[in-house]
Amino acid sequence: MELFSQTTKTIGNVVYKTPLADRLRPVDFGEFVGQEEIIAPDKPLRQAIEHLKKSDFQGGLPSLILCGPPGSGKTTLGYLIAKETGFEFITFSAVTSGIKEIKEVMERAKFNRKHHHKNTILFIDEIHRFNKAQQDAFLPYIENGIISLIGATTENPSFELNSALLSRCRVYVLRQLKDKEIVWIIRRGLSDKERGLGELNIELEPEAEKYLVTIANGDARVALNLLELSAYSTGSKDNKQLITKTIVESSAQKKVLLYDRAGEEHYNLISALHKSLRGSDPDAGLYWLARMLEGGEDPLFIARRLVVFASEDVGNADPQALVVAVSAKEAVDFIGMPEGYLPLAQAVVYLATAPKSNSVYRAYNKAKEDVNQTLAEPVPLHLRNPVTNLMKKLDYGKDYKYPHDFPEHFVPKQNYLPENLKDAKYYQPGEFGFEKEIKKRMEFWENLNK
């Protein structure tokens, strides 16, 4: 398992030092930082690994799906499981491999089992990138124990992996690393003289460390890569190399946000934006808007969701909300980015602070339910337009009363619904904003009916 201790790579006659993040990869569970909820000594996964270490029995390691954000330890955990159990460790990339490569790896695993009495762990990075047919190709080998599959993914397995594969694997969710855990990893990188930067005698200013932790955003790999890059640009102070906040800022350029416009985070953030607006919190709405735009989201997607929100959650409590949302969409489409954030931000604040009503949303769903669950009776004759003489002879439009010919421009007791639904009530206006006025009007018409 030279993967755990290799600090250099030789290409031709040239020896290269591997990146700091690779050199500091934990060699045992004692060095592994975070995820105690999964790999603490008293947890089932760790106990299963310890059992396999002490036993001559080959097998018993379940196939696993490790789901979590980048830099949370998925690949390292796969390495450590293989090292601790003594299984052969084969890495496989879903980005560059297909069915042909899968079959070749399975033949190797069968050879190990038959001739060396040794099990194989197949580690698949970005397993969510495999299509259904490729995922299905693993099923028989998992079933008969030829391999123990460990798949790593940043996406929600429920959405990205087929149910047949999920049913044969145990899913473990790794969390984003905490700030204190990132600090520990950074300080180890600075102090470790064998695998880290300890021989360089580098000091990291407190403000620089704090900024580095913020930029890393729970990703250990980002923290170490940025630390190493900053180390190349250090100044000197009291015979020490000094990394300042300015150096870290210069090395980082811009914070990298976890965002996938087609993945789960895309839906998580738009959900957070929608719920913040519904909760009348403009500050939270602006924050989630900024998160999405800075992460690279299509501004027109956000604009379309704001239009939906205007009708679903504001509705007739403030009819102007829909006008503002549509105007924001048109403005973004017209001026583009980066200035397009301004009409979006204006719409977000307006929608968050508008009176709320979902009466239209609920009314339509009630009407839709009746459409789907009751007999679709013909349109009443008096509501039909008598366009031709034949239609007039068939009583189209007969007995229809024209509201503008009546006082208050309203015809009492004229029915506009099919006979079987003539008493149906769908829209119930709320008590806020313009719906208070709508409610008064509806009560007025109801009194005329009586």
Residues 92-126 have pLDDT tens digits of 777 776 777 777 888 888 887 777 777 888 898 88
C-alpha closest to that of 34 among 150, 185, 226: 185
What value does the mean pLDDT take over residues 146-171? 86
Q: Does the pLDDT value for residue 7 go beyond 80? A: no
| pTM across the whole model | 0.62
Query: Cα–Cα distance between 353 and 12 in angstroms, integer?
Result: 65
Confidence of residue 271 (pLDDT cuts 50, 70, 90): very high
Query: 8-17, 84-93, 184-193: which has the minimum mean pLDDT?
Result: 8-17
What value does the mean pLDDT take over residues 170-178? 91
- The share of the chain scoring above pLDDT 70, in percent, equals 90
Query: Cα–Cα distance between 115 and 209 in angstroms, integer?
Result: 52
217 or 235, higher pLDDT: 217
Q: How many helices (H) and strands (E) does the chain have?
A: 21, 10
Task: Quote the pLDDT of residue 3.
Answer: 43
Q: Does the pLDDT value for residue 215 go beyond 70? A: yes
pLDDT tens digits along 180-196:
999 999 999 999 988 88
Among 24-28, 314-318, 397-401, name the most confident range.
314-318
Confidence of residue 55 (pLDDT cuts 50, 70, 90): low
CB 69 within 8 A of CB 258: yes
Q: Burial of 54 by CB count in 10 Å (0-12 exposed, 13-18 middle, 19+ buried)?
A: exposed
- Both tokens of 258, joined, read 């976890």
Task: Quote the pLDDT of residue 99.
Answer: 73
Task: Quote the pLDDT of residue 346.
Answer: 95
- The share of the chain scoring above pLDDT 90, in percent, equals 29
CB 429 within 8 A of CB 442: yes
Q: Cα angle vertex 116, ends 114, 121, to 5°?
A: 85
Task: Quote the pLDDT of residue 5.
Answer: 46
Task: Quote the pLDDT of residue 8.
Answer: 55
**Average predicted confidence (pLDDT) for the chain:** 85
Residue type, 101: E
Among 65-74, 132-141, 195-204, 301-310, name the most confident range.
301-310
Q: Cα angle vertex 447, ends 445, 405, to 5°?
A: 45
Task: Quote the pLDDT of residue 12.
Answer: 45
Task: Quote the pLDDT of residue 290.
Answer: 92
Task: Quote the pLDDT of residue 360.
Answer: 93
Q: Does the pLDDT value for residue 10 go beyond 50? A: no
Using DSSP, state whether 117 is helix, strand or coil.
coil
Confidence of residue 138 (pLDDT cuts 50, 70, 90): confident
pLDDT tens digits along 306-359:
999 999 999 999 999 999 999 999 999 999 888 999 999 999 999 999 999 999
Q: Does the pLDDT value for residue 156 go beyond 50? A: yes
Q: Go through the domains of the chain in sequence order and give each one's CATH number.
A: 35-173 (3.40.50.300), 179-252 (1.10.8.60), 264-353 (1.20.272.10), 377-449 (1.10.3710)
CB 378 within 8 A of CB 366: no
pLDDT tens digits along 292-316:
898 888 899 999 999 999 999 999 9
